[in-house]
Structure 1
Amino acid sequence: MTVTFRRPGFVCTDHFLEVPLDHGDPDGGTIEVYAREVVAPGREHDDLPWLLFLQGGPGHKATRPGDAAAWLGRALRDYRVLLLDQRGTGRSTPANRRTLPADPAEAARRLRHFRADSIVRDAELLRRALAGDRPWSVLGQSFGGFCAVTYLSLAPEGLREAFITGGLPSLTAGADEVYRAAYPRVRAAVERYYARYPGDRELVRRVVGHLDGRDVRLPGGERLTGRRFRTLGHDLGSSAHFDDLHHLLEEAFEGEELSDTFLHGVDAAVGYARHPLYALLHEPSYCQGTASNWAAQRVLEEFPEFEEPAMLFGEMIYPWFFDEDPALRPLKECAEMLARDEEWPPLYDPGVLAANTVPVAAAVYHDDMYVDREHSLETAAAVRGLRRWITNEYAHNGLTADSYVLDRLIDMVRGEV
């Protein structure tokens, strides 16, 4: 059943499609994926090309119309946009502590089918259902860009063109190499933060010391530790959220105690209840024939500067998350099994990418905290015909911050830049 509704600036239609849980075993059970079609008012019946949007993550639902997404208005000038809730997220069949099998081994087996390769195969079934034999365009942001490169590897015949922002993955680097490159970028972002707010370094030390010396509880009842508070450095890679920590710290203390305002703000920022798949599949999303074995935790030992309480963490997932976050605690054994799994299949095909004929344009953010610039440039050189735009004008969220990012990529694919 499809449902269409209107809101200012958008005409939206809901689409649901039943797909195999395991595309290699079509008779082995199904799940449902959800996607929202968006078109500009007055163009509902135009024969517009489709643009599939693949959200960053893993484990995040797609942008909603009306969110702070500068690119969407630009896209609607030329395309009929499809916002896909990647399997396990949003209105697609959810994958979380309530819905995954209670048996950790069975839950882990199920989650093997929630990476980029399965997402691409879901997209191909959606394409055939909505566009028939016509190829469509894809826009991949961050992890969505990883998915776009998988799409170019597994099903290039389904693509008319590809746009990638902050999401060119290494074709060969494992999780260890990814985090070995990531920690210095996080350190640089933290130092940029303290250069803007020099008084916050000592304030962060004070908060961490307070948390580690007392039993401080978040509104949900679980204890807030200093190390969990330090994960707020995750947002320093986004221009939209770079200042959020400072605004929290401004109201951190009431006398000698942490304020309710501060604790509520931290609670909203450090929990994984809304995106547990991010914690479960972040490291496995880099694995091809190897186990992650909690790479971020192991590689951290090579960077002793992170022992300093004021040094914040970035986009890393640590095994202790599954002890301290109530939404993740029931999934701890499952996460351990995923971390030890050595049989992850390939996500990219270097031979297919070297012979690529799909027009591709990619924005590589020079100072991206989340995706390594050198890894991205190596991949850009390995994809035949890919046109790259290297810029330091934007942080990782450039696509949502400024419509010019998508505008320029479209012009690049069309040969106008």
Structure 2
Amino acid sequence: MPRKKQKSGPAPRSHRPSGPAKPGPAPASQAKNKGSKPDHSASGTVKEGSQKKQALQANQRPIVPFLRGDRILLVGEGDFSFARSLAKQYKCRKLCATCYDSKETLFSKYPQAEQHIQEILDSSKPKPKSASEDAEEAKTSESNAQPTSTSPSTQKPTPKVLFSVDARKLGSPAGGGKEIRTGFPRKEPKIPAWKLHQQSQAQAQGQSSTPTVSSPPSGPWDVICFNFPHVGGLSTDVNRQVRANQELLVAFFKACVPLLSTAPAPVDEDEEWEEDSEEDSDSDEDGNEDGDGDAQTSGKAVRTGPGQILVSLFEGEPYTLWNIKDLARHAGLQVVTSFKFPWAEYEGYSHARTLGEVEGKDGGRGGWRGEDRLARMYVFEVKPEEPRGKKKKRAREGDSDSE
């Protein structure tokens, strides 16, 4: 019987070059492993490592790097939906949200911004009380003969919104001026009266040359955050775009350094933090002390480290071409960590494009959506000065990244 013709198809993968095999002695390595299956251990290891990395990312708790008591400066806000999330969802009261555009330009580009700003400003207002609560409060106030007054030092902090603030010139007249230079007062521990008396006696007797009550000079902000910085469509040339955004970030970093807070002095066992009434009332009303139980945030905890700069960028080119870590290093900063930006942890937040809202064919929101893209948030701190005579060690910053 004649042989059946075999169907033609792609040749199987082989480690040998294509073409007719020439007779001859096989190399020693091939002769030794003759009859054994091809070794795919290297590719298998890479695949296994990739699967482990994906599993780690899926199981990792999202990171929200804001504490409720932080003094937070937001730079380059678009429609203020991110600031709204911090104010309403995470109860951040010492919050100043700024944007580059004027008020009129902002509302024309992002019509929803006006509503978001109003919600931010109203977030610190007490909730309306019922008729029974009002009556009970009236009886209590009548029974108390002494009138109650609120001093400026005990007033509750409220969020602020500023327009026409240039991120490259923070603290200058074009960068928010005095509002940015002063910020919010720092929360200090309550020192017992007997300890203050001891310190004053020691200073009077000359036993203490430096005052121990006052805290070291510190900037007004614990966190300065710039989400998805971009100069806009100044040019279609990629190289020019990269350079323009690099210049923006370098100027921003340098402007931030004098505004960052230093690490607070360690608190003794006999010193206590004053109770923050507005934080406690927020927790009682909402029944949620930490803002979001699933997010990796410390809630009401007191910040013990120095102030930080946060910058969020999309992953991939052209953003990787900006080399943000090198830019920060030139400004005297160091990378503490970086992590996946948790879009879902900020309720109602949507990325606002620099050019404004793009209308779709159906009349809704058009164009690409930033919240559908992968992004990372980078955390920077001022690099501490190393002691003289000590050799400088360059840390491998990639090891500190949280995937």
TM-score when scaled to structure 2?
0.24
Which structure features the higher share of helix residues?
Answer: 1
TM-score when scaled to structure 1?
0.23
**Which has the larger Rg?**
2
Which structure features the higher share of strand residues?
Answer: 1
